[in-house]
Amino acid sequence: MATTTATITINSSDLTGDALSLGTTTTLYKGGQTVGLENTSGVGRLLLSTAQTKVLFDDTTVSDGAHKVYIANKSTDATHKATIKIQAQTLGDLYAGDWMFIPWNGADDTDISVVTSDANMVIESMLIFE
């Protein structure tokens, strides 16, 4: 059984007017179990030579489950935007250096895609799944 943990830490000296320091860690388990997620797509990097829409994770890749998705916009140009979508629903925009980590059940009609604003953008992604 694999044991994988995810950690996020948020620090700011002035976001709330006072010093802020938040942190949390979780172990990534299969849905409804205490057994760790055991599979990964591996970390992939796409160099998209033109502004385009690209499916990152197709709903036929996995069956329903407690999967996790990591996506990062590795661009260094602050104007480069990657819009993340599940089917036609926009989740949000990742600007240069931004990243996200979300749960994804992999159910039918839930393809995850990225829409890039410019040419020569690098998108990094990984699926951790049951």
Supply the pLDDT for residue 59.
86
Query: What's the rounded Cα separation, in Å, for the pair 108 and 38?
Result: 22
Query: What's the rounded Cα separation, in Å, for the pair 107 and 20?
Result: 37
Strands (E), 19-59: 20-27, 39-40, 44-48, 53-57
The greatest distance separating any two alpha carbons of the chain, rounded to the nearest whole angstrom, comes to 47
pLDDT of 108 above 90:
no
Amino acid sitting at position 106? G
Supply the pLDDT for residue 58.
92
38-129 fold: Jelly Rolls (2.60.120)
Q: What's the alpha-carbon Rg for the chain, to the nearest Å?
A: 16
Query: What's the rounded Cα separation, in Å, for the pair 96 and 122?
Result: 10
Extents of the domains making up the chain:
38-129
Confidence of residue 72 (pLDDT cuts 50, 70, 90): very high
Q: Does pTM top 0.85 for this prediction?
A: yes
